[in-house]
Structure 1
Amino acid sequence: MYRPLLVLLYVFMLSDSLQSARNNILHPKTFNARRAGNTTTENDLILPELNVSSSHVRNYTAGILSTRIIPAAYLIAILIGIPSNCLVLACLINKIGSLSSAILYLSLAVSDLLLLVSLTLKVHYHLNGNNWMFGELACKLVTACFYGNIYCSIHAHMCISVLRYLAVVHPFLYRGLSKRSCTTWASLTMWVFFAAAMAPELLVHQSYYLADVGITTCHDVLPYDEEQYNFLIPYRLCLICLGFMFPFVVIAFAYGSIVYQLNRSCCDWTHYIKASTLVFVIFFLCFTPSNAIHLIHYVRLYTSQQDDFYIYFSVAVCLCCFHSCLDPFLSYFITKTTNSQVEFISLSSFSPIT
């Protein structure tokens, strides 16, 4: 197992050395900037320079939005999300053997926790005036972890919604499934897929020194004026489609079918209908704005090379981080047992899912 990891690490290190040796690098599209044609030295590292051509980029990097409001939102999510997700992990570890859906909830909690941990460095970055102090490799890892775990959380919700859909709408098919095997393979496939999908983030240069402003940004400002690098925009658009749009359609269909089926039942499923509706509504409110703006951002870049929507995306993506700290409360409810003891139980306790 360790040999493929060593090979992958070697590839990343070789990529970094090649990038520092030349400037012809593939770049993702965020804010627009042009190469300054020279480099600067910071902390004994040689960083390529960029010239900022638009005033809204300067306003964003120095404004109160990115230096105070966004890090404050991240900090709230961290303070709530990390302890609650750690508590969920502690509860789920003991239930893996008895609850097949616990594997999916475990994947969701781990993904949310990794996302929130990556925010700690982003908080320092924004509070420091959008000046990155931790080097290129850390910038790559934080960027890949941030975006990768957002999409990983979305897919974990999709898998959970499909499991609930089968349990409610197709109970006989659900009973015949090897649920533990299905949830295990779904979780492994999800992690492998997004590890591969985030590989481009580790193979491109993410941190640049802005000569006009005097700061080193991480992922926020990258050069994209070279026409030969426009093929990276389809990569981003495909990631949005596969990472959000497809899971959103599946989740909407699953919860819509669940509510429709339970409304037809002669039993009183009002509590579960309200819980399912609440989970879907919060999912919609947290993930849709950022992904919709992200999609518009890259379409505008591709058609007119306009990058001003990235500011709105930076604000909307805070909602995704709040969803990571809400997941433990959405997935688990505090209920009283017959002897009035309070314990965490899964939403699946209100349905046929076991």
Structure 2
Amino acid sequence: MATFLPPPILCERLETIVGRAGGSLAFRDAAERVAYALPAQAVAEVREFLSARAGVKIEATFQAVLPGGRVFGSGNVLAPDGRSIARDVSEDFGKAFDEHWLLTYPRIRQPEAVAGTTAVVATTQGVGYGHWLLEELPRLLAADLSGCDALLANVRENFAVEALRHFRFGGKVLPVRRDHHLQCERLIVPSLPGPAGWPTPEVVRRVTAFAETLPKEKSGAGGAERIYVSRERAKRRRVENEEALWAQVEARGFQKVFLEELTWAEQIAVFRGAREIVAPHGAGLANLVFCEEGTRVVELFNRAYVNPCFWRVAALKRLDYRPVVTAGETALAQDLSANKCDIEADVAQVGRALA
């Protein structure tokens, strides 16, 4: 019968843990404030909603060496004794700094020892495409992996496998799992590129520069300049009135695209070649990072879940971003409990956005 360890008892900054363990931490880029330009074509209530979410302070980036450091699950970093969580590199989306799901998690197994030098670039939600592309991949690209024997990363999905194959890490890649608990002889921990959902100019630069080195693929949309990204095959956040919406955009020469059918390289090619994009909010819009400046983007939202993360990408890329939210009596919100809700598209408003 498995014996489980008690969970950690507090959250700390990695720098504090490293100092106590006799490790080191070197700062890189200085702290900065990033501002995101409001979309000129948004209606008043959407502009007001976004204006309160239009800037963030990004902490200075770093890379740390933590002797005996532990990694639990998808990239959560623990102190060598397992008593604290390095909260600034262990995301728990929507929680305060001193909160984390691991503090009450009852099923922590004894750690498995990993010899040599191991780097962790896996992020908590990096199994999902949007979080991987804008959080985990930039973390990998920013890391100094010289002398590393192993790399902890999310590699369950084809896009991550494609990227790592091209990245050509010389050591062993160790896939992360939710209940996996490792204790590393020497753990390299690069900082996160910023809070989830708040991309930085450096994130955009690193991801686009890496994509430019990939072998060029033909567009999975046949080179279409107008694309509609459909979620009709998804399990959540589908468009309730997709038939009416599709009739509207098809008449304007749009081609329907199912991103789940495409390789990563094909997705990049689709968004590079697009000049007009209509899509419900979804992870595939992380690909806006590959769009050309001026590309028109119409993103559809449910009033209860207006997530600004892809607007921020569009702002940094200087895209012609036009959010569409169906009119209603309830206030706009970013309610995490509503992130699976379907979307009713305002077809008339989409038509105006494309005029």
Higher helix share: 1
TM-score by length of 2: 0.24
Larger RCO (alpha carbons 8 Å, 6+ apart): 1
TM-score by length of 1: 0.24
Structure number, greater radius of gyration: 1
